[in-house]
């Protein structure tokens, strides 16, 4: 019988997607493009160590408050970096 891995996902995906949408308001030139928002999410996710889980409650239960704060800070930093990166790359392409 083959294993079913469909319940596994990277914990950071949902939080990064939410952080990208929250920050998009401050970056209207990027927010206007779904492709650029997806680029931001990809850049941010690639800067984070993946944390694969099956159930959110299991992941949260085992985190200390310090670890949770570190993850939140890492996600915020990654999303900020990603917006700046995508904005700079978009500006370079526009000049070409």
pLDDT along the chain (96 residues), means of 10: 90 96 96 97 97 83 90 97 96 84
Q: Please give the share of the chain, as a percent, with pLDDT higher than 70.
A: 100
- pLDDT value, residue 60: 78
Q: Cα separation of 96 and 70, whole Å?
A: 39
Task: Report how far Cα 88 is from the mean position of its chain's Cα atoms.
Answer: 18
Task: Report how far Cα 42 is from the mean position of its chain's Cα atoms.
Answer: 7
pTM of the model: 0.88
On the CB side of 2, how many CA atoms lie within 13 Å of its CA? 3
Please name every residue paired with 10 in a beta bridge, in sequence order, or none if there are none. 52
Q: Cα separation of 90 and 36, whole Å?
A: 9
Task: Report how far Cα 26 is from the mean position of its chain's Cα atoms.
Answer: 16
Could you tell me if 75 and 41 are in contact, meaning their C-beta atoms sit under 8 angstroms apart? no
Please name every residue paired with 52 in a beta bridge, in sequence order, or none if there are none. 10
Q: What's the mean per-residue pLDDT of the chain?
A: 93
């Amino acid at each position: 019988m083959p294993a079913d891995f469909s319940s596994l996902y990277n914990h950071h995906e949902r939080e990064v997607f939410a952080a990208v949408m929250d920050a998009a308001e401050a970056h209207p030139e990027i927010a206007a493009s779904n492709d650029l928002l997806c680029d931001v999410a990809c850049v941010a996710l690639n800067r984070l160590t993946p944390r694969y889980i099956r159930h959110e409650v299991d992941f949260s239960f085992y985190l200390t408050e310090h670890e949770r704060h570190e993850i939140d800070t890492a996600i915020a930093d990654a999303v900020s970096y990603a917006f700046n990166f995508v904005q700079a790359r978009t500006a370079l392409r526009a000049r070409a």
